[in-house]
Chain A
Amino acid sequence: MLSINNLHVTVGDKAIIDGLTLDVPTGEVHAVMGPNGAGKSTLAFALAGRPGYDVTAGSVTLDGEDLLALSPDERAAKGVFLSFQYPVAIPGVSALVFLRTALNAQHKACGEAEVSAPDFLRLVRARASELKMDFDMLRRGLNVDFSGGEKKRMEILQMMILSPRLAVLDETDSGLDIDALRIVAEGVNAMRAPDRTMLVITHYQRLLEYIRPDRVHVLASGRIAQSGGPELALELERAGYDRYAA
């Protein structure tokens, strides 16, 4: 279970997350929705441990283990994955090399053996084809000259290969056309598992037509303003976020 208790996060001198409490039981998919500036991406970065996102109070545990004490790479090795709203391009490192390096770094941190090159390629080929990705694209620089949709598919591919315990998807629907949205959502749905917890962060309801969350939470002014079932997303779509304005 992901357990966030009374979390306070500041960026620079600005308090963004302001006493956020949220529990996501293992195996469930929860959506966090909210207006621009509510602190959605800050929450995602704080969970992943991004430098500059300072936790000033509160706690975050995954299955009882304190995540806040860990570096970003240690959290990754514990199974925390963040799908970035704006994936970073890394010229000079192919997606394949990057992903294999990441996978083996996580295996090493867990005391497991490295994945052999043939096994790795087989795994990536299968997942890439599920996501309808051109395999040759993976030989190019990571995210270099990728379209918005290709970048998001690349994030989902990495999530599939790294097989996290906690997946945080930050605005995975932004910049996607309807076909790409469907493919990405199918990829996410395929990742639903009894031992995996997912937090889907989104501004719009449309992604939730494809990924049906167990719970929906409204994030406003740095804390959870309301929680409900999937129907809450539809209500938000209709009524907007105005009533949560500070």
Chain B
Amino acid sequence: MNRTVYLDHNATTPLHPAVQKAITDSLGIFGNPSSFHAYGREARAKVEEARQKVAQFIGATADEVFFVGSGSEANNTVLSILPCDKQSCVCKMKTAQRILTTRIEHPCILESAKCMKRRGSDVIFLDVDQAGKVRMDQYEQLLTQGDIGLVSIMMANNEIGTIQDIRTLARMAHEHGALFHTDGVQAVGKIPVDVKDLDVDFLTVSAHKIYGPKGVGALYVKKSIPFCPLIVGGHQERGRRAGTENTLGIIGFGTAVEMRQAEMADEESRLLKLKTVLRDQLAREISNLRFNGHPTDCLPGTLNVSFEGVEGEAVLLYLDLEGIAVSTGSACASGSLDPSHVLLATGLAAEQAHGSIRISLGRDNTPEDIEYTAKTLKEVVRRVRDMSTAYGADAPQSSR
């Protein structure tokens, strides 16, 4: 294998060298941040320093940010607020019980929404258009029908990269008295996000998508917004998330955010240029393909493409053999029978979703990587199509 190219940054990212250093430098810090003695105070200071960095990065104050174990945990926490059955709970300030979310959310939102449904909350899943944008007419209509307690809409989609107009969506939700949550796992650290500017009530952030460590995320909860914890049994994080803090993870998270603050603008515009080169080259050299997602309102480094007549997992594994790591919306790779729910929601036919590849760029990628990827992908698609029943002479007309 001559070259390795990691193009799956929406799945996870390698640690930024500065993050790696911050964590290894801190390996000796073992005190419990809740302890009053010197050991505890040392850990506490590090946790608070990181909190300050995360808060500043998203335009919040430190007391509005608390650390959690993952983006999934943060999302589950927010969705569990509405069906809370403790009468004394502050979240009972809200009475409206309906949850409004979209069909293209991450499974951690979709599944917890379904869970809330089983517990008696009414959950409505919004449609999206072909580019993956929330259909505003439907959104307005559902808000007007009333009784919406919480709206949860992801800022940027993990599969197709489509960025929603969160400011407008949040304003509309507030006009109808609903709380607004956005899953910012893919967006924060790739595009500028300011919670005050967007005026959201909750925002989910994850460290490992932005060159931080796995197992740590953050939830922003706007001051004075009703909230109740998902994990109880300790006073950590000001009672909002029980469990001893993941000190090392949090330290790494803080540094990751710091690095993003310094590098994001230049880095993401570089990735956008690389992606554009890749997209243009694929469009020139491979026939019968389509790019999925929004042409402009898209994460800079995310490119989702469907190749007619090919099955994505085969492409993924042939690329893997050539040292290139991507992901696919094909059912085969997921172990389920259905291809990507996101691509289907944008109106793609099942076979187009099966033939999709997600390429997500990151800070280590070079122009040479892109050149190699375009060349290899062209070859792989040709190879898979050559043995495909769904392409060329043997393809039934109905599938063309």
B is a partner of A: no
Q: Hey, which bits of chain A sit against chain B, CB under 8 A?
A: none
Q: Hey, which bits of chain B sit against chain A, CB under 8 A?
A: none
